[in-house]
Amino acid sequence: MTTQTQTPTRTSGRDDTARLSAAIDIVRHQHTATLLALLLPGLDGPELRALVDRCRFVHAGLLVCPPSMAQLRAELAAHGLDADDPRLPSVVVRERLALRHRRDVADLDVGILRPAVRGLDGERRAVEVFVLPVPPGSELADIAAHEREREHEAHLAFEVRRPDPLVLRGLCATFARHGAFADGGGYNPHEDGTVFYFTAPADSKAAYRRLELYASGDHRQVLAAHLEDFRTRQPAETLLRLSTGAWTTQALATCARLGLADAMETGAAVGLATLARAVDADPPSLARLLRYLTMLDMVVEDANGFRLTEAGALLRANSPGSMRPLTLMYGGPFYRSFALLTHSVRTGDTGFERLFGENHFDYFARRPELAACFDESMAASARMFDPLPAHPVITAAGDAAGPRTVVDVAGGTGELLGRLLAARPNLRGVLLERPHVVAAARRSLDAAGVGERCAYRAGDFADVPAGGDVYVLSRVLHDWDDERCGQILRHCAAAMPVHADLLVVERLLPADGSPAPAIAWDLHMMCNVGGRERGVDHYGRLLGDAGLRLVDASPLPLGASVLHVRRADAARP
């Protein structure tokens, strides 16, 4: 019998009966501190005590492939274990097996049994048995043999006491410091629990090289960083995931086109048959799409059907902050033109113009439905505007003794201008836009209750109204090359009184080459729009050439920034 001071025997290559017996033995006879010390030999006394205070050993897990569930339950009963509990679906292990063996997850009926085991001092523990039934002659026999030999899913699990993000990040950091590295994980909605898998360091003395941290509740934000660390160690998986990104784009766009999110709720679950009728879809095909959307965390499945997650709710047409129009644009015309990225890289020409014969502004303007979707897609990223009503320039204008005017140049349907006017009753607005957009902007600003304080100018950049106090260029300059940007900025400089301020909202390329959303958008602008993203120094040069100067830059949500600009001859603050 194994004691708390002995090193458990490694079990790879043995049959399921012997492996199961060894796992039960570990659960019955090992202490939390002993197992942690075996898993992470580099732990010193204080670190070990800190880990024991934050987590406790709760089970040993392994994957078995019995010919039948009846035989497995008989083996568990022979060890005095009750295995009558229903077998729960195993989301995480099923997906790991599918990826490892290049199989469809639908082919792998993996479930979980957790027969209770009494540990030392009467502690309640369990053996976590992942079950993939493999009857004689099954085509899954090779998978079973491989998994018994490699023990990919065998692990020792520790439950986190009082889990919160700070504790979880600290535990992950401690394991990494002592040579353990991320080895996957996931959130299981069937039991509302999050698992973090690690591979123990090479000098580990424990029976299993894998370690699991289990935290009750949904901790996918912390899990995301853990999984990213795991993916960086899996180059083939990383490349495969990136190469199939188009599938994700189209799955989300299909969800939006079908109105699937509008037929669902974030609270109550909706059954497959009901959803299929609501969106006029083939039920088996819709089930396959929903399974993929579940993997993307857009929907969650339970015994009663499917319900939206918080992210999935953003695909509803009328939800606050809906991103459905943006999804339709990226999965529609821009998706088609992005196929010409190679052409853009080779020639410097815009893929959109090559495919459709004209730039996207003109193409959309002649197609009212697309024009409306494009304008709505611009408003869908409006969360980046949240801090702007409190920007010092807007605050000063709003608090001034008399009315002040904000001129929104190419302001779309007025999403930003409406926010500024609603937050600052002393402000008046002027919106400059193309004629077909002005009509939509009137409706939008009237609906927001600020239309009475807004004037409209239909025209081009040469028509920038003079005499304003604050000018706004939001996501405009990145649509154009440097020459056209210079012209736009000179029109603004000519219209601005010497006291006026200009706020430029754009995504900035990082000076040090670090990852940033602007890098991806720069590729989009090159292929689909004909513009580009720029760094702050690049904007500084364009501003200087136009008789303007950059005062400062500050970050906004969604990877954006706001540049505060004044005329070069204006008094310095």
Q: Where are the domains of the chain?
A: 16-237, 244-316, 335-379, 383-567
3-state DSSP assignment of residue 125: strand
Phi, psi of 194 (to 5 degrees): -115, 130
Per the confidence metrics, is the pTM higher than 0.85?
A: no
Note whether 465 and 496 are within 8 A (CB). Answer: no
CATH class of residue range 244-316: mainly alpha
Query: Does the domain at residues 383-567 carry the CATH identifier 3.40.50.300?
Result: no
* Helices first, then strands: H and E counts in the chain: 24, 18
Strand partners, 131: 64, 111
- Hey, what amino acid is at 479? D
Q: How far apart are alpha carbons 325 and 29 in whole angstroms?
A: 58
The domain over range 16-237 is classified in CATH as 3.10.180.10: yes
Check: CB of residue 188 under 8 Å from CB of residue 207: no
Rounded to whole angstroms, how far apart are CA atoms 454 and 464?
A: 15
Question: Other C-beta atoms within 10 Å of 271: how many?
Answer: 12
Known catalytic residue at 478: yes
Count Cα neighbours of 156 within 13 Å in the Cβ-side half-sphere: 29
Distances (CA, A) of 149 to 110, 127, 281, 307, 349: 18, 20, 44, 39, 54
State the DSSP H helix or E strand holding residue 420, giving kind and residue range, or none if neither. Answer: helix 415-423
What are the pLDDT tens digits along the chain (573 aa)? 333 444 454 454 468 899 999 999 999 999 999 999 999 998 888 999 999 999 999 999 999 999 998 899 899 999 888 877 677 888 878 888 988 888 888 889 999 998 999 988 788 999 999 999 999 999 999 999 999 888 888 999 999 999 999 999 999 999 988 989 888 888 888 788 999 999 998 888 888 888 999 999 999 989 988 888 777 776 776 777 788 889 999 999 999 999 999 999 767 889 999 999 999 999 999 999 999 998 888 998 888 899 998 889 999 998 878 899 999 999 999 999 999 999 999 999 999 999 999 998 889 888 888 888 887 887 777 778 889 999 999 999 999 988 999 999 999 889 999 999 999 999 999 999 988 889 889 999 999 999 999 999 999 999 999 999 999 999 999 999 999 999 999 999 999 999 999 999 999 998 887 778 899 999 999 999 999 999 999 999 999 999 999 999 999 988 899 999 999 998 776
Q: Which two tokens stand for residue 143?
A: 């998978």
Q: Which of 478, 491, 524, 564 is catalytic?
A: 478
Distance CA 550, CA 564 (A): 6
